């Protein structure tokens, strides 16, 4: 795991199941609680929760499965999301607000408006994305406390 000099004081991984619309969001809910218990400031928790929620929804919709790893140090939160799924053909396009490949059923849930990755990027201090079509996508996010 990429870390900026300091050792983690907390690290936990969470599995996300593709296609599980009922529990979609539960991982982010758990992470929010963990961060609250750790006494992380509310504005940081909100940013982290938005990042993990959008990322979690992307895995549920577009991947077979994924793992979200949260690592907390006194200075920062490091969130890594790796999925096995269809991947993203044009990352630059996917990062544009309003661009979406979402089918109607995702739009009916109130998502798929092309705001997911832009929302993640907006709430991150550092944001990296890599993807291989047909294999999966990896996100690497740092939020400074």
Tell me the C-alpha distance between 24 and 74, whole Å. 29
Q: What is the DSSP letter of 121?
A: H
The least distance separating other proteins from the CB of residue 109, rounded to whole angstroms, comes to 5
Please tell me whether residue 13 binds other proteins under the rule CB under 8 A. no
Question: Given candidates 113, 128, 132, 144, which one binds other proteins under the rule CB under 8 A?
Answer: 113
- Residue 137, both tokens: 């996508």
Question: Given candidates 74, 104, 110, 134, which one binds other proteins under the rule CB under 8 A?
Answer: 110
The least distance separating other proteins from the CB of residue 25, rounded to whole angstroms, comes to 3
The least distance separating other proteins from the CB of residue 5, rounded to whole angstroms, comes to 26
Question: Given candidates 36, 96, 130, 135, which one binds other proteins under the rule CB under 8 A?
Answer: 36
Tell me the C-alpha distance between 80 and 139, whole Å. 6
Question: Given candidates 4, 9, 41, 93, which one binds other proteins under the rule CB under 8 A?
Answer: 41
What is the separation, in whole angstroms, between the first and last Cα of the chain? 19
Determine how many CB atoms are found less than 10 A away from the CB of residue 58.
24
């Amino acid at each position: 795991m990429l870390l900026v000099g300091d050792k983690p004081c907390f690290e936990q991984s969470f599995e996300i199941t593709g296609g599980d619309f009922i529990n979609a969001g539960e991982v982010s809910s758990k992470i929010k609680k963990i961060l609250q218990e750790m006494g992380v400031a509310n504005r940081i928790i909100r940013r982290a929760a938005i990042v993990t929620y959008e990322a979690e929804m992307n895995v549920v919709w577009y991947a077979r499965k994924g793992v979200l790893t949260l690592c907390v140090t006194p200075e920062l939160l490091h969130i890594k999301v790796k999925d096995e799924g269809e991947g993203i053909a044009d990352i630059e396009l996917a990062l544009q607000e309003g661009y979406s490949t979402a089918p109607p059923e995702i739009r009916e849930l109130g998502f798929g408006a092309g705001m997911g990755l832009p929302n993640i990027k907006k709430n991150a201090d550092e944001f990296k994305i890599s993807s291989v079509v047909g294999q999966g996508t990896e996100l690497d996010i740092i939020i400074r406390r």
